Amino acid sequence: MRTSTISKTVQLLALGIYSAGILSSCSTQTTQAEAAQTTEVAPDKMPTIMAELTDAPLVPAPITRKHAAKVVVKLEVKEVVKKLADGVDYTFWTFGGSVPGKFIRIRQNDEVEFHLMNHPDSKNPHNIDLHAVTGPGGGAASTFTAPGHETVFNFKALNPGLYVYHCATAPVGMHIANGMYGLILVEPEEGLPKVDKEYYVMQGDFYTKGEFGTPGLQPFDMEKALDENPSYVVFNGSVGALTGDNALTAKVGEKVRLFVGNGGPNLISSFHVIGEIFDNVYTEGGTKTQNNVQTTLVPAGGSAITEFKADVPGNYVLVDHSIFRAFNKGALGMLKVEGDENKRMYSGQIVDKIYQPEGSTVQEMPQSKAPAAAVALNKNSRMELGKTLFAQNCQACHQAEGQGIKGAFPPLAKSDYLNADLNRAIGIVAHGLEGQIKVNGELYNSTMPKLKLSDEEIANVLTYVVNNWGNKGGEVTPAQVKKAKASYKH
């Protein structure tokens, strides 16, 4: 095991910098609605407002008051075991019990009384560095908080913008890598332009001992973190946090604003929404905008605000356009837009004909180091393991509910082709498929790559598929896979 590059001296210095703390009392509180009706008053008579904090992807309501206020923020640190991917758990260190941490929304020139509480069950001291704060450590110097303690400090929000916050207790990288980051928005005095939908999306890279998809409770791997080689790159703390039932939603004609952050700790995000162009991007979370942007860079410890109008109905995929991170490490989300079609703006498919250039062949999925497959104990565990494998290998093409993509990738849901011959399905997964097939009355002529899966894994993923989305059920066994592979003609 390689030793950390952070020297003992640096660690002690960092601990000393962040170990001071101050405590101030909380004044009388009013609601934000009441404060919005309050006229301008002297600083010592400012109305006091309890900040509304939200979990991603939700954000607090826009600020409508026309004056500064004293805003009380109470944020609790919790160390919790949560899902990182299907079948994979991780011990996250969190601001507020979730990754990313709570979204904080204040107004320029607000005076903030910030309370940081560290839950008694925590095993580590923590603090907070808010990039919106002008002062030593961004507040970290005043918030070194032991388990079971609370620290408080005050700051004035001088600069508008969207800012990252994170833990800055040594070793800083490990605290951030375990999920200790979030966003704080300082609205300009005049407020942000009105939109119909606002969402909170934050990317992070995670470093586990096991490779992507290895089941069970995974520990943090310092070697991978130092090498900047994450097992997972995800939005909002887990694979699938923004897909399926958790997808973002909008309607045709609505304006959508995404508050995008990148906790890192290492990777830069190339944030992109497939099928949309950002009308406005507040670059790096500042107050100046760029227009008509396809992909925007979000540095580790940085942010961006993106705005666009939903013009065409359909599913729009959010990705880190360092694209293997999206389809192989988890940095993928979904925005579902409902409404009437506009054929002049987007026609949909109008031609589908065979194009078969000479030399085409079945592709193989590269996999230089295949992790050992977990062995299923029964049908239910086989389905659970198969669910994870489906998300890793199949979901990008066949979609989360097996619906496929019309004209490109055939559906697995209620699939007459699949249900008619499971041995054929085994052969296709093992050896790939080239050529035209008919599924549920529709012709498809795309290439199915050869997947580097073991017999156990093929049995698991097909058992999951045949027991979902209206398929016929049953269990596929490794023995059946071995026999079907040997007899498959392709």
Print the SS3 string covering the chain.
Answer: CCCCCCCHHHHHHHHHHCCCECCCCCCCCECHHHHHCCCCCCHHHCCEEECCEECCCCCCCCCCCCCCCEEEEEEEEEEEEEEEECCEEEEEEEECCCCCCCEEEEECCCEEEEEEEECCCCCCCECCEECCCCCHHHHHHHECECCCCEEEEEEECCCCEEEEEECCCCCHHHHHHCCCEEEEEEECCCCCCCCCEEEEEEEEEECECCCCCCCEEECECHHHHHHCCCCEEEECCCCCCCCHHHCEEEECCCEEEEEEEEEECCCCEEEEEECCCEEEEEHHHCCCEEEEECEEEECCCEEEEEEEECCCCEEEEEEECCCHHHHHHCCEEEEEEECCCCCCCCCCCCCCCCCCCCCCCCCECCCCCCCCCCCCCCHHHHHHHHHHHHHHHCHHHHCCCCCCECCCECCCCCCHHHHHCHHHHHHHHHHCECCCEEECCEEECCCECECCCCHHHHHHHHHHHHCCCCCCCCCCCHHHHHHHHHHCCC
Q: Copy the structure tokens of residue 95.
A: 């601001």
- Comparing CA positions, the residue from 87, 72, 85 lying closest to residue 35 is 72
Annotated binding site for Cu cation: 126, 131, 166-167, 175, 180, 321
- Of 135, 144, 146, 78, whose CA–CA distance to 112 is shortest? 135
User: Strands 232-235, 302-309: parallel, antiparallel or unpaired by DSSP?
Assistant: unpaired
Tell me the pairing of strands 278-282 and 289-293: antiparallel
d(CA 333, CA 368): 27
- Residue 313: Cβ-neighbour burial (10 angstroms; 0-12, 13-18, 19+): middle
List binding-site positions: 126, 131, 166-167, 175, 180, 321
* Block residue for tokens 């058992």: 463
Q: How far apart are CA 420 and CA 135, in angstroms?
A: 68
HSE-CB for 3 with a 13 A CA cutoff: 4
| Neighbouring residues of 22: CB distance < 8 A, sequence distance ≥ 6 | 142, 151, 152, 153
